[in-house]
A and B are shown apart, each in its own frame.
Chain A
Amino acid sequence: MKALFALVRKELAVLFGSPMAYLVLALVGLVTALLFFDHLRVYNQILFVYTSNASGGFELGTLPERVNLEDQVFLPLMEQLGVTLIGIVPLVTMRVFAEERARGTEEILMTSLLTPSQIVLGKFAATFCFVTLMLTCSLVYPAAAVLRAGLGLPHLAAVALGLFALSLALAAIGLACSAFSANQIMAAVSAYAVAFVIYDFGWLEPFLGAGAGKLLDAISLQPRFVGFAEGIVSLADLAYFAGIIGTAFAVARLGLDVVRVR
Chain B
Amino acid sequence: MQRLALPGLIAVVFGLGSYYATGEMGPFGIANVALGGGALLLSGIAAARRVHGLAEGAARRILLPRVALCLAVLLGAIAIERLAAHSELHLDWTVDRRFELFPATKSALRTLPSELTATLYHDRADPRARRTRMLLEEFARVGSVRVRVRDLEEAQEDVERFGIRGTNAVVLELRGAYEIVDRPTEGELLEAILRLRGAPTRVLYAAVGEGEGDLESVEASGYSGLASALRTEGYELRGLFTATADQVPEDAGGLLVIGARRTLRPEAAGAVQRYLERGGRLVALIEPGVRSGLEGVIEHFGFAIPDALVIDPAAGPVEGAPAGVNPVVAAYASHPITRGFSNRTLTFFLRARPVEAVHKPEPDDELVSLAFTSPRSWLNFDPAAVHGTSAPRPPPGTVFQRYPLVGAGRYPRPSGEARIVVFGDADFATNQYLRSLYNLDLLMNAIHWALAREDAITLRPKLLTPNQDPLTPQQTLGMLYGVGLLVPELLLIGAAVTWLRRRGA
| Contact residues in B for A22 (Cβ distance below 8 Å) | 491-492, 494-495, 498
- Among B74, B93, B127, B489, the residue within 8 A (CB) of A75 is B127
| Contact residues in A for B29 (Cβ distance below 8 Å) | 203
Instruction: Verify A261–B62 contact, CB threshold 8 A.
Output: yes
- Among A68, A69, A196, A240, the residue within 8 A (CB) of B81 is A240
Instruction: Verify A236–B13 contact, CB threshold 8 A.
Output: no
Which of A1-9, A101-109, A121-129, A246-254 is the contact stretch? A246-254
A-B residue pairs in contact (CB < 8 Å), sample of 16: A19-B495, A30-B484, A36-B484, A37-B476, A37-B479, A68-B468, A71-B128, A144-B483, A158-B93, A185-B6, A189-B10, A202-B19, A232-B92, A236-B90, A243-B76, A253-B66
Considering the complex, which residues of chain B in the window 162-187 have a beta carbon less than 8 Å from any beta carbon of chain A?
168, 183
Q: Is A238 an interface residue (CB 8 A)?
A: yes
A71 and B408 alpha carbons, distance in the complex (Å): 39
- Nearest-neighbour CB distance to chain B for A232, whole angstroms, equals 6
Among residues of B, the one whose C-beta sits closest to the C-beta of A50 is B468
- Nearest-neighbour CB distance to chain A for B67, whole angstroms, equals 6
Instruction: Verify A71–B466 contact, CB threshold 8 A.
Output: yes
- Identify 11 new A-B residue pairs, CB closer than 8 A, beyond the known A22-B498, A155-B93, A236-B84: A16-B498, A19-B499, A23-B491, A37-B480, A66-B128, A137-B487, A190-B9, A227-B134, A231-B92, A246-B73, A261-B63
Known contacts A17-B502, A235-B84, A244 near B77 by CB under 8 Å: yes
Interface size on B, residues (CB 8 A): 76
Q: Is B471 an interface residue (CB 8 A)?
A: yes
Considering the complex, which residues of chain A in the window 176-208 have a beta carbon less than 8 Å from any beta carbon of chain B?
185-186, 189-190, 192-193, 196-197, 199-200, 202-203, 206
Instruction: Verify B54–A261 contact, CB threshold 8 A.
Output: yes
Considering the complex, which residues of chain B in the window 22-56 have a beta carbon less than 8 Å from any beta carbon of chain A?
25, 29, 36, 40, 54
- Among B12, B59, B168, the residue within 8 A (CB) of A261 is B59
Instruction: Verify A189–B6 contact, CB threshold 8 A.
Output: yes
A69 and B127 alpha carbons, distance in the complex (Å): 12
Contact flags (1/0) for A36-47 with B, using CB distance below 8 Å?
110010011001
Instruction: Verify B13–A189 contact, CB threshold 8 A.
Output: yes
Instruction: Verify A30–B488 contact, CB threshold 8 A.
Output: yes
Instruction: Verify A67–B19 contact, CB threshold 8 A.
Output: no
- Among B67, B81, B91, B471, the residue within 8 A (CB) of A148 is B471
Instruction: Verify A150–B498 contact, CB threshold 8 A.
Output: no
- Among A21, A27, A232, the residue within 8 A (CB) of B99 is A232
Instruction: Verify A33–B488 contact, CB threshold 8 A.
Output: yes
- Nearest-neighbour CB distance to chain B for A68, whole angstroms, equals 3
Among residues of A, the one whose C-beta sits closest to the C-beta of B66 is A254
Instruction: Verify B126–A26 contact, CB threshold 8 A.
Output: no
Among residues of A, the one whose C-beta sits closest to the C-beta of B134 is A230
Q: Is B384 an interface residue (CB 8 A)?
A: no
Instruction: Verify B77–A149 contact, CB threshold 8 A.
Output: no
Instruction: Verify B128–A251 contact, CB threshold 8 A.
Output: no
Known contacts A17-B502, A36-B484, A203-B25, A251 near B16 by CB under 8 Å: no
A254 and B57 alpha carbons, distance in the complex (Å): 17
Q: Which residues of B contact A (CB under 8 A)?
A: 5-6, 9-10, 12-13, 16-17, 19-20, 25, 29, 36, 40, 54, 58-59, 62-63, 66-67, 69-70, 73-74, 76-78, 80-81, 83-85, 87, 89-95, 98-99, 126-128, 130-131, 134, 168, 183, 344, 464, 466-471, 476, 479-480, 483-485, 487-489, 491-492, 494-496, 498-499, 502
Known contacts A76-B127, A137-B487, A18 near B92 by CB under 8 Å: no
Instruction: Verify B9–A189 contact, CB threshold 8 A.
Output: yes
| Contact residues in A for B16 (Cβ distance below 8 Å) | 196-197, 199, 203
A40 and B471 alpha carbons, distance in the complex (Å): 8
- Nearest-neighbour CB distance to chain B for A208, whole angstroms, equals 12
Q: Is A211 an interface residue (CB 8 A)?
A: no
Instruction: Verify A71–B496 contact, CB threshold 8 A.
Output: no
Known contacts A19-B495, A76-B127, A150-B464, A33 near B485 by CB under 8 Å: yes
A26 and B485 alpha carbons, distance in the complex (Å): 9
- Nearest-neighbour CB distance to chain B for A130, whole angstroms, equals 13
Q: Is A258 an interface residue (CB 8 A)?
A: yes
Among residues of A, the one whose C-beta sits closest to the C-beta of B87 is A235
Instruction: Verify B488–A26 contact, CB threshold 8 A.
Output: yes
Q: Is A54 an interface residue (CB 8 A)?
A: no
- Among B73, B344, B488, B498, the residue within 8 A (CB) of A19 is B498
Q: Is A171 an interface residue (CB 8 A)?
A: no
Instruction: Verify B502–A18 contact, CB threshold 8 A.
Output: yes
- Nearest-neighbour CB distance to chain B for A43, whole angstroms, equals 8
| Contact residues in B for A70 (Cβ distance below 8 Å) | 464, 466-467
Instruction: Verify B488–A29 contact, CB threshold 8 A.
Output: yes
- Among A149, A206, A262, the residue within 8 A (CB) of B467 is A149
Considering the complex, which residues of chain A in the window 217-262 have a beta carbon less than 8 Å from any beta carbon of chain B?
226-227, 230-236, 238-240, 242-244, 246-247, 249-251, 253-254, 257-258, 260-262
Among residues of B, the one whose C-beta sits closest to the C-beta of A36 is B484
Task: Tell me which of A75, A154, A235 has the highest count of chain B C-beta atoms within 10 A of its own C-beta.
Answer: A235
A102 and B20 alpha carbons, distance in the complex (Å): 33
Q: Lowest 3 CB-CB distances: which A-B pairs, in order?
A: A243-B77, A68-B466, A22-B495
- Nearest-neighbour CB distance to chain A for B161, whole angstroms, equals 20
A17 and B504 alpha carbons, distance in the complex (Å): 13
Among residues of A, the one whose C-beta sits closest to the C-beta of B83 is A239
- Nearest-neighbour CB distance to chain A for B5, whole angstroms, equals 8
Instruction: Verify A140–B483 contact, CB threshold 8 A.
Output: yes
Known contacts A149-B467, A203-B29, A258-B63, A243 near B498 by CB under 8 Å: no
A189 and B92 alpha carbons, distance in the complex (Å): 37
| Contact residues in B for A243 (Cβ distance below 8 Å) | 74, 76-78, 80-81
A189 and B9 alpha carbons, distance in the complex (Å): 6
Instruction: Verify A157–B80 contact, CB threshold 8 A.
Output: no
Q: Is A83 an interface residue (CB 8 A)?
A: yes
- Nearest-neighbour CB distance to chain B for A176, whole angstroms, equals 10
Among residues of A, the one whose C-beta sits closest to the C-beta of B505 is A17
A177 and B49 alpha carbons, distance in the complex (Å): 20
| Contact residues in A for B13 (Cβ distance below 8 Å) | 189, 192-193, 196
Contact flags (1/0) for A131-151 with B, using CB distance below 8 Å?
000000100110010001111
| Contact residues in A for B495 (Cβ distance below 8 Å) | 19-23, 26
A60 and B468 alpha carbons, distance in the complex (Å): 7
Instruction: Verify A238–B84 contact, CB threshold 8 A.
Output: yes
Q: Is A212 an interface residue (CB 8 A)?
A: no
Task: Tell me which of A29, A47, A155, A226 has the highest count of chain B C-beta atoms within 10 A of its own C-beta.
Answer: A29
Among residues of B, the one whose C-beta sits closest to the C-beta of A144 is B479
- Among A16, A192, A231, A246, the residue within 8 A (CB) of B9 is A192
